[in-house]
């Protein structure tokens, strides 16, 4: 980052949008939550669900640091990971495949045209309740089936569950409707954005695994419809209820690049 301006790129993955910054110089002010929240603000800033820094890493192609729109560092962002992979390719750091370090460990990814396929961490534990499931796919996720998905007030109901069931730490909240044995529709309330987003990568992954575990989905390749488009989740499951070889795929696109005058800070 030079003295006067911050150069950034804006990316989106099924409508989950991010500010991306090449921070290989490690000069971005990571502790300035108010600045990050300002950059993500949809009226006073660039506008995004989160901000991602790309940094050098000693043991992989690059390291990703993810912040939610509220300015705090988040847990894993699946769609953001797919965007930073496309960003790394545009920067000439990688070709059509890579591995990179994120908050939950190492990930692999491949690029085919505009599609980015991301390997997620294994999932060994799913907590099942009568009305919902809870699991961690790099980020914490509540998964709940609903009858009337289009009619649901996701911001209101998501916020209520995020605080009432999960306290201050919170969880992301996914509402889902099974539409075919291998297809679901999902709407997600995201912690850290504190609103519904158009899509959430770790969320749709959690939905596919939780509903497969419940016997609600027969296949191991699931199509997921979100407000921002379609994603695919593939996985293997073992006899102990664990999930491995989990891949999240879908488009990740550059929208524009620009500069932010630091005097606006
Ligand atoms: N949009 C993300 C999820 C980001 C993580 C989350 N908001 C949190 O910190 O809990 C995704 O695509 O996975």
Annotated catalytic residue 200 = yes
Quick one: tokens of 237? 């499951």
Distances (CA, A) of 246 to 2, 121, 133, 136, 232: 39, 7, 18, 13, 10
Atom of ligand 1 nearest to the CA of 13: 12
Q: Which residues contact 163 (CB under 8 A, 6 or more apart)?
A: 170
Ligand 1 interacting residues, C-beta cut-off 6 A: 16, 49, 68, 74-75, 77-80, 139, 172, 190-192, 200-203
Distances (CA, A) of 172 to 17, 47, 106, 191: 17, 20, 22, 5
Q: Distance, CA 42 to ligand 1 centroid (Å)? A: 18
Q: What is the ipTM of this complex?
A: 0.94
Delineate the domains of the chain, giving CATH numbers in brackets: 5-117+252-264 (3.10.310.10), 126-251 (3.10.310.10)
Tens-digit pLDDT profile for the chain (265 aa)?
Answer: 666 899 999 999 999 999 999 999 999 999 999 999 999 999 999 999 999 999 999 999 999 999 999 999 999 999 999 999 999 999 999 999 999 999 999 999 999 999 999 999 999 999 999 999 999 999 999 999 999 999 999 999 999 999 999 998 999 999 999 999 999 999 999 999 999 999 999 999 999 999 999 999 988 999 999 999 999 999 999 988 899 999 999 999 999 999 999 875 5
Quick one: tokens of 140? 């914490």
């Amino acid at each position: 980052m030079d003295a006067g301006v911050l150069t950034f790129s804006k990316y989106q993955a099924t409508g989950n949008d991010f500010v991306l910054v090449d921070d290989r110089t490690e000069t971005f002010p990571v502790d300035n939550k108010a600045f990050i929240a300002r950059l993500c603000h949809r009226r006073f800033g660039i506008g995004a669900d989160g901000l991602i820094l790309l940094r050098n890493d000693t043991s992989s192609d690059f390291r990703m640091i993810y912040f939610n729109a509220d300015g705090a560092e988040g847990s894993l962002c699946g769609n953001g990971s797919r965007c930073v992979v496309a960003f790394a390719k545009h920067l000439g750091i990688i070709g059509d495949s890579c591995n990179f370090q994120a908050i939950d460990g190492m990930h692999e990814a491949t690029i085919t045209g505009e599609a980015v396929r991301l390997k997620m961490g294994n999932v060994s534990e799913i907590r099942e309740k009568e009305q919902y499931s809870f699991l961690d796919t790099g980020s914490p996720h509540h998964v709940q089936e609903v009858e009337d998905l289009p009619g649901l007030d996701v911001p209101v109901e998501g916020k209520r569950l995020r605080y009432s069931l999960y306290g201050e730490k919170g969880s992301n909240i996914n509402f889902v409707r099974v539409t075919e044995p291998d297809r679901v529709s999902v709407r997600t309330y995201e912690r850290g954005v504190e609103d519904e987003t158009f899509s959430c990568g770790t969320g749709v992954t959690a939905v596919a695994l939780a509903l497969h575990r419940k016997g609600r989905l027969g296949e191991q390749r699931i199509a997921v419809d979100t407000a921002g488009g379609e994603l695919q989740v593939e996985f293997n499951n073992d006899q102990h209820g664990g999930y491995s070889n989990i891949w999240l795929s879908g488009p990740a696109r550059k929208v524009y690049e620009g500069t932010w005058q630091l005097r606006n800070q």
